[in-house]
Amino acid sequence: MKVGFIGLGIMGKPMAKNVLKAGHELIVFDFNKSSIEELVAAGATAAENGKGVAEQADVVITMLPNSPHVKSAIFAENGLAEGLSTGKAIIDMSSISPVASREFAAELEKYKVDFLDAPVSGGEPGAIAGTIAVMVGGKKEVFDKYYDLLMTMAGSVTYVGEVGAGNITKLANQMIVALNIATVSEALTFATKAGVDPELVFEAIKGGLAGSNVMNAKAPMMLDRNFKAGFRVELHIKDLQNALDTSHEINASIPFTSQAMEILQAIKIDGYEKEDHSAIAKYFEKLNNITIQSNK
C-alpha cells in the first residue's frame, strides 16, 4: 500500500518507521526538515507539501498537535485536499476535538474521500515498540479496510463507533491519566511530608488496587526528578480543553477534569509547559513545600 504520513514528531516519527518496516511504500511531509531526512534515510520518499503526499499515496496518516494543525494540513493551500481523489482516505491519528473530526469527515465526503479519527495511547515508548493502543471512529467498512495498516504501528486497534468516537475515547483516556497522575502526586507528597519514604510507598502499593500503568510509568520519573517529555504539559492542557469544550457542548459536567486543568495551568505558569506531564508533582510539592524524594 502507498501510505502518506504527515507529522513526524515525537509520536509520528517512530510510527512512520513502523509502517515502513512492515513493507509499505511511505511518502512523508513535515515542516521539520531534519525529521523528513531521517525518514528518507530509513527508506521513505519526501514530498514538497501535503498536496504532493496526497497525490502519491492511497491513504494518508496525520499525526499533528491539535485540530487547527489538522485543518491546515488538509484544507490550507497546497494541503492534502488539493491532491486527494475519489476512494482515497485520511486517517487522523492526532488527539483533537471530536467536533472537528466530524467537520473534517463531512467536508471530505464532498471529495468522496474517507476519514477515520484514530487517536492513540501509549506514548513515545509504545510508538517505538509498535504497541500503542488505537481507538478508531468512522465507517466500519473503512475501519476494516485499514485495520492491518493500523496494526503495523499498534498492539491493539479497537473500533469504537462513528466518526468522532475515537477522539471521545481518547479524551476519556486523558481525563483518567491526568487525574491519576495528580492523585499519585498528591499521595506521594503526603507520604513524604509524613516522613515515609515515597519510593517504599510506591513499591508497597503498586501491586494492589491503587496500582496502575500511570503510576508505574510516572512515579519513577517523579522519584528520579526526570521530567523530560514524553507527553508535554502543553499537550495535556490541549486535551483537557477539548474535553471541557466537548463536555459543555453535550451538556455534561466533568468537575474533576476542570480541577486537573487548573493544576496543569498552574504548572504552565511556573514555566513547565514543555516538561512531561509527570511534572504535575511539582504543583503538590509547591503547595506542601517539600520534594518527593527517596531516602534510600
- The residues annotated with a catalytic role in the active site are 170
What are the C-alpha distances in Å from 259 to residues 157, 213, 218, 268, 270? 31, 22, 20, 14, 17
Site membership for ligand NAD, residue 264 (CB under 6 A): no
Site membership for ligand NAD, residue 172 (CB under 6 A): no
In angstroms, the CA 243 to CA 253 distance is 10
The single-letter DSSP state of residue 208 is S
Selected range binding ligand NAD among 18-26, 27-35, 81-89, 254-262, rule: CB under 6 A = 27-35
Give whichever of 44 and 187 is closer to ligand NAD, judged by the CB atom.
Answer: 44
Site membership for ligand NAD, residue 156 (CB under 6 A): no
User: Smallest distance from the beta carbon of 175 to ligand NAD, in angstroms?
Assistant: 14
Written as nine digits, the cell of 63 is 499525526
Site membership for ligand NAD, residue 97 (CB under 6 A): no
User: Smallest distance from the beta carbon of 83 to ligand NAD, in angstroms?
Assistant: 13
Selected range binding ligand NAD among 16-24, 38-46, 58-66, 81-89, rule: CB under 6 A = 58-66
User: Smallest distance from the beta carbon of 50 to ligand NAD, in angstroms?
Assistant: 6
In angstroms, the CA 13 to CA 35 distance is 7
Cβ within 8 Å of residue 115, ≥6 positions away: 89, 90, 91, 92, 101, 104, 105, 108, 138, 142, 163
List the one residue from 18, 67, 94, 183 that touches ligand NAD (CB under 6 A): 94
- Can you spell out the DSSP letters for 145-169? HHHHHHHTTEEEEEEEESTTHHHHH
Q: Cβ(79)–Cβ(70) under 8 Å?
A: no
Mark 211-250 with x for binding to ligand NAD (rule: CB under 6 A) and - for no binding: -------------------xx---x---------------
Selected range binding ligand NAD among 26-34, 103-111, 185-193, 241-249, rule: CB under 6 A = 26-34
Site membership for ligand NAD, residue 82 (CB under 6 A): no
**Residue 278 CA, distance from chain mean position:** 15
Three-state DSSP at 292 gives coil
What are the residues binding ligand NAD (CB under 6 A)?
Answer: 6-12, 29-32, 35, 63-65, 69, 72-73, 94-95, 120-121, 123-124, 230-231, 235
